[in-house]
Structure 1
Amino acid sequence: MAMNKSLSERLALSVRHDEKARQSFPDVIALRPEIEQALNDGWTRRQIWELLHTEGKIKCTYQWFVTLVNRHTNNKQCNTSFQRKKNLRSGDNAGSSPSIQSENPGFSFQSTFNKEELI
């Protein structure tokens, strides 16, 4: 039972588990072209990780997977999929980002304050 073990013993087990998870680095690198393609196709990191983890191709945690993907994939491709989803949500098919006012028509930020509104 985990509660009967000392803190040091539990930490040692945890470190061993983390080392196993970090061994997923070569797996992610080997799958990088497929991961980048899936990101370009609009799939989320979570969806990609869940499938690869279920298939047993990677054994790391989701957080470690995201770290590896962010470090070792072409970030432009990741940003492209994010921008595509953002454009689809806003209904903008031209690829340009919508203006802030069109997203939030009832809000305008002013960095200076009006003294009359404070009184």
Structure 2
Amino acid sequence: GYDCRLGPHLQARLAVWLEEGPAAHGWADDQVWTASRVRTLIGRKFHISYSVSGVTRLLHRMGYSVQMPARPAAERDEEAVAAWREVTWQEVKAAGRQPGRGSASRTKRA
């Protein structure tokens, strides 16, 4: 399998830091961990470089998942959203592929 550069003991330390929240580690603007922030935290604390996608895979192996808000934002205007979907989206969405015969070859037309 995949050999992780952060062993179980280092992953446990990372988990403790993640539980402390972003503000405890210098991100006071909001309380959201992003893969980029976790990447920076790993670099600062362990002096190990990860890519953002590598951090995402690491967090997944540690049992973390992408979080979605439990409820819509209080500022959300449902009428404006519905109007946008009916008018603006219809104007900007792509028409898509036209039905017809196709070819798997990139150089030869059907």
TM-score, normalisation: structure 1: 0.39
Higher helix share: 1
**Relative CO higher for 1 or 2, CA cutoff 8 Å, sep ≥ 6?**
1
**TM value normalised by structure 2:** 0.41
